[in-house]
Amino acid sequence: MAWQLRRDPLEGLRQMAREYGDIVRFYVLGQERTLLNHPDWINQVLVIKHNKFHKSELTRRVTARLLGQGLLISEGEFWRRQRRLAQPAFHRARLNDYAATMLEITEGHIRGWRNAETRNIGQEMTSLTLQIAVRTLFGTTLPEEARRVGQAMTFLMRYSLSRQRLPFRIPETWPTPRNLRANRELGFIDSLVYRIISERQEEGNSNHHDLLALLMSAMDEDGAQMTRQQLHDETMTLFLAGHETTAQMLTWTWYALSENPPVGARLQEELSGILGARPMEISDLPKLPYLEAVMKEVLRLYPPAYIMAREVIEPCEIGGYSLGPKSTIIFSQWVMHRDARYYDNPEEFRPERWLGGLADRLPPGAYFPFGGGPRRCIGEGFALEEAAIVIATLARRFRFRLVADRPVVPEPLVTLRPRHGIQMSIHACT
Ligand code: HEM
């Protein structure tokens, strides 16, 4: 079983759910894992008994070097305080402020696109969301550094993940070529983030309206502000958690639309009918139910966060099984979102399924692209706004066709990515 999971994690997880049902215990290199495949048990872990669990040791190991004590992996009172401090940066009014930036960068990004040319759409979406993340976080464009930051982040994610998958780990302090490169990339990103923080501390925050300015001015009830180290860890976390996931969501959107032309046509009809040729504003979103359904369906079939894990910190019971401290619980969006008990023809990309109130009928824990409970994604509103603006802007101008050089295969890295990227030809709408 563990072998199958290693060889093909996505199919391995589904096979386990098919063969063994709603709760399965297994061992990887002698360590106990419990896989949950039922919404009730997932809801118990995320919401009802959330205080019996921490983020898993595995999550911490993969990300700690990059993200320090940022929101994604911190725990307890420290996490609660940081979440409270960061939350105002994601309030609705703030999200409205970011919309204009998102639109401007999207328009700028596609200015050079020409009819009938072929592009690697995964790279395009990563570069677009990276520019948006840099500007909304730091209020700057960093034209020189942005590309290098993206490459460094990609390398570091691959590096951390591949280390976890090796049965024997070479210490990080050994001067192997990959360790040395990891140190170099980490040093580059660290010094860039600290430089931006220092410049901001010197010049003051008053003229800035970006996420960094909000984090810097956020103050606890006792008047304490974040230290430089905390600012660094939180900005790195928002940067990494923010741009990579949204880039994958957008990449899968163009793939799904190209594979389902009637969906693309209906989306375009809705967008043109409501918006005409004017840019989308965030207040338009409630008038665009089909766009919302498309986004929900993309996140169902191609969830960028495809698996989650927790470590038991207090003995508890889930689904009739006792769980002891240190045991690891896993559950997967990839598996649950394709479960035929909750979704008709689950493999079909059919946004229409969401139009009749499916979201309200699903039990909690059956659809969780952004997680759930107190640790639910802080950037959900930000991501959906960004995705809506990018999709509404591009879908009215271009149609994307898959260039069939090789099959598109989802690859479970830190996020769910297409293994070789996706080459698409771009066709201007007339
Ligand atoms: C489609 C895009 C996104 C997806 C699918 C996604 C998914 C998730 C999921 C599943 C979690 C919960 C992880 C867990 O409980 O173990 C999470 C947490 C988080 N996400 Fe997102 N995310 C997205 C976009 C963003 C954006 C745009 C930001 C920031 C700008 C962001 C920042 C965070 C942070 C800071 C956390 C940790 C929250 C906490 O524990 O308090 N995410 N995300």
Structure confidence at residue 366 (pLDDT): 98
Structure confidence at residue 165 (pLDDT): 62
Structure confidence at residue 205 (pLDDT): 77
pLDDT classification of 145: cutoffs 50, 70, 90 = confident
Mean pLDDT, rounded, for 70-88: 92
The alpha carbon of 405 and the centre of ligand 1 are apart by a number of angstroms equal to: 33
Least confident of 33-42, 146-155, 181-190: 146-155
To test the pocket of ligand 1, the residue of 377, 380, 386 to mutate (highest count of ligand atoms within 8 Å of its CB) is 377
pLDDT classification of 143: cutoffs 50, 70, 90 = low
The alpha carbon of 107 and the centre of ligand 1 are apart by a number of angstroms equal to: 26
pLDDT classification of 254: cutoffs 50, 70, 90 = very high
Mean pLDDT, rounded, for 411-428: 90
Mean per-residue pLDDT of the chain: 90
- The closest residue, in CA terms, to atom 19 on ligand 1 is 377
Q: Is it the case that residue 389 has pLDDT exceeding 90?
A: yes
Q: How many CB atoms lie within 10 A of CB 106?
A: 23
3-state secondary structure the chain: CHHHHHHCHHHHHHHHHHHHCCEEEEEECCEEEEEECCHHHHHHHHHHCHHHEEECHHHHHHHHHHHCCCCCCCCHHHHHHHHHHHHHHHCHHHHHHHHHHHHHHHHHHHCCCCCCCEEEHHHHHHHHHHHHHHHHHHCCCCHHHHHHHHHHHHHHHHHHHHHHHCCCCCCCCCCCHHHHHHHHHHHHHHHHHHHHHHHHHHHCCCCCCCHHHHHHHCCCCCCCCCCHHHHHHHHHHHHHHHHHHHHHHHHHHHHHHHHCHHHHHHHHHHHHHHHCCCCCCHHHHHHCHHHHHHHHHHHHHCCCCCCEEEEECCCEEECCEEECCCCEEEECHHHHCCCCCCCCCCCCCCHHHHCCCHHHHCCCCCCCCCCCHHHCCCCHHHHHHHHHHHHHHHHHHEEEEECCCCCCCEEECCCEEECCCCEEEEEECC
Q: Which residues does a 6 A CB cutoff place in the pocket of ligand 1? A: 55, 71-72, 83, 237-238, 241-242, 245-246, 249, 304-305, 308, 369-371, 375, 377-379, 382-383
Mean pLDDT, rounded, for 120-149: 84
The alpha carbon of 428 and the centre of ligand 1 are apart by a number of angstroms equal to: 33
Q: Is the pTM of this model over 0.85?
A: yes
Q: Is it the case that residue 62 has pLDDT exceeding 80?
A: no
Q: Is it the case that residue 146 has pLDDT exceeding 80?
A: no
Q: Convert the pLDDT of each residue in 81-113 to its tens digit.
A: 999 989 988 998 888 889 999 999 999 999 999
What single letter denotes the amino acid at residue 160?
A: S
Q: Ligand 1, closest atom to CA 374?
A: 41
Structure confidence at residue 168 (pLDDT): 61
Q: How many CB atoms lie within 10 A of CB 177?
A: 7
Least confident of 149-163, 199-213, 260-274: 149-163
Structure confidence at residue 2 (pLDDT): 65
The alpha carbon of 375 and the centre of ligand 1 are apart by a number of angstroms equal to: 9
Q: How far apart are CA 89 and CA 210, in angstroms?
A: 9
Q: Convert the pLDDT of each residue in 296-355 to its tens digit.
A: 999 999 999 999 999 999 999 999 999 999 899 999 999 999 999 999 999 999 999 999
Which residues on adjacent β-strands are paired with residue 423? 120
Q: Is it the case that residue 169 has pLDDT exceeding 70?
A: no
b (16+ CB within 10 A) / e for 318-351: beeeebeeebbbbbbbbbbbbbeebbeebeebbb
Mean pLDDT, rounded, for 259-269: 97
Structure confidence at residue 120 (pLDDT): 92
Mean pLDDT, rounded, for 172-177: 82
Q: How far apart are CA 166 and CA 368, in angstroms?
A: 29
pLDDT classification of 1: cutoffs 50, 70, 90 = low
The alpha carbon of 89 and the centre of ligand 1 are apart by a number of angstroms equal to: 14
Least confident of 30-44, 159-173, 186-200, 278-292: 159-173
Higher pLDDT, 194 or 344: 344
Q: Is it the case that residue 368 has pLDDT exceeding 90?
A: yes
The alpha carbon of 237 and the centre of ligand 1 are apart by a number of angstroms equal to: 9
Q: Convert the pLDDT of each residue in 17-53 to its tens digit.
A: 999 999 999 888 788 899 999 999 999 999 999 999 9
Q: Ligand 1, closest atom to CA 137?
A: 30
Least confident of 188-192, 392-396, 402-406: 402-406
Least confident of 101-105, 205-209, 229-233, 269-273: 205-209
Q: Ligand 1, closest atom to CA 384?
A: 1
Which residues on adjacent β-strands are paired with residue 273? none
Q: Ligand 1, closest atom to CA 383?
A: 27
What single letter denotes the amino acid at residue 302?
A: Y
